[in-house]
Structure 1
Amino acid sequence: MNILLTGGLGFIGSHAATVLAEQGHQIILVDNLCNSQIEVLSHLGQIIGKQPIFYEADVRNTNLLNSIFQKHSIDLVIHFAGLKSVAESVTNPLKYYDNNVGGSISLLEAMQGAKVNKLIFSSSATVYGVPQYLPYDESHPTVPMNTYGKTKLQVEEILRDLSHADPDWSIVCLRYFNPVGAHESGLIGEHPRGMPNNLMPYVCQVASGKLPHLNIFGDDYETKDGTGERDYIHVMDLAEGHVAALNFVNQHPGFHAINLGTGVSYSVYDLIGAFEQAANSTIVRKVQPRRSGDLAIYYAKADKAKNLLGWQAKRDLQVMCKSGWNFHKQKS
């Protein structure tokens, strides 16, 4: 298949590209490089054995998307492109609605014009909001707590309406939990621009001496060790989930929301301990007051992915930390 990946040089998009290429698919990557690096393209070439087709483009440029669809006979789209900082989304909501919601509408218009009606959307567990029960399943109420989560939910609602209006559409929304780790080659991984927002790249920078210490925001939650607990999932498990979703979306029209997580909650101290073993290093940490809006604990119920997609996560926290550290060492 000819598969268009928006945000294809980003953390999750680039890892999904490796798995799709290994499966024999032709991948076409679009990325505006606002939070990714162009060198990822050559690293992907090393991993998959040939340079992928790439366009430096913003998904809000509908005319350019139209030309890409015409040139490459796209069969299916995986939509990764989107801004993802929760904190920034709260302080600059218009930027997030414009990019995440406006960009998705632009892409859908181009798809409609090209008569491409198969889509896998990169959604998020943030759509659930404060847990009314745990683990989150796909029937859990969706009441996001921040602008980022609201933009993801708005796109889901647009996609649900689109599938109702036109039954030829096949759409899978994959609700990610907390992706970490890196490709086993160490050539690609999580490499944000500026100060990291996520825990793993921050820990890597502390371990390598680039940052003086790790801030732990709250150690007095009602959890096993007082720190927040999250469902961390290896990015390659997540990437393989997209291949499973690809097989599903080709055979099942309509709208489907599916969690991708491990079903296990790891605390901040769990991750630090596993990382210290992987890096043979001590992570200096300082406990800070809780941040507003942080949840004590959340994790996935991933039965639907297993039942519908035949997929489940298989890499543990130690593998996540080893691969993340391996990537950080190679790029440093």
Structure 2
Amino acid sequence: MMLVAALLSWFLVGLFINMSKARGWGQPVRKDGSKSHLVKEGTPTAGGVPFVIALALVFFPLYFTGHGGDQRELIIMLAALGMGIIGGIDDWLKVRSRMTGGGKKELLAREKFPLQFLVALVFAWFAAPLASHTLLPGLGGIGGVPIWDILLLTFVMIGSVNAFNFTDGIDGQLAGVGIIVLLPLLALSPTAALLVAVLLGYLWFNAHPARVFMGDMGSHAIGAIAAGAYILYADVWLLPIAALIPVVEVLSVVIQVAYFKRTGKRVFRMAPIHHHFENIDTPWPETHIAMRFWIITAVMTAVAWWLMGGRP
């Protein structure tokens, strides 16, 4: 079924690109950003929409016919769709604003975060009793409810979604990082395996020079599935090791914003950090940044699974 998912994703993403071009659903590019990105003005965005649709179209028939795993898979998938819908609303607002020249441009952080918190909390409530490893040893629950585990998993889900979201921004980077982080889980989680498949179909068009950008729906879904799969099949504490690049990406934004508010100066040329390397005195080519971040992710994913003895 991975082959079916990959081919369906490849077909739907290609169809989406043609529709986007016909309707002018192009991505605006920051004029104060990397100069090399100016040529990308007008490239179709929200490419995560078709590959998430492909994921759902393959997953649900498998699950309801008894071939898509147990209830853990449904929990992961519903979390991915919930987070994906939040990102999809953001994508829709951006496209509509560009097309009409007005209206709300995007979801503000104060609007997006409560929605993410709600989805993450529901996920954590059902996932905490099923987690594959002890989460917070020595901290009991309240009235039989593992409240501290629920709070931890809520935080991990929100953090993962936003970290993977910030990792997007360079051709092929997020898709490659997401695939590598999930590789150890291919034989354990059908949802993770299907996500890898649909990302391969998407990457056909997102490889440099990208013909489509992912947008928030895709990045949110990747972050949700990565978090869910590591929590339920591996170990929640391995996720920040394997996903070191997304962790560094989100930390670079936090550091940049906090330092600028305090001093009026910047730590990085531009955040997230992949844009910093595009703007240093001797800029790294976009393809080098993506490939080097893939390599770091591969090494750190191997380290994470070595720490687990090569098995969950």
TM-score greater than 0.5 by the shorter chain: no
Choose between structure 1 and 2: higher strand proportion: 1
Choose between structure 1 and 2: higher helix proportion: 2
Task: Tell me the TM-score normalized by structure 2.
Answer: 0.30
Using CA pairs under 8 Å that are at least 6 residues apart, name the structure with larger relative contact order, 1 or 2. 2
Task: Tell me the TM-score normalized by structure 1.
Answer: 0.29
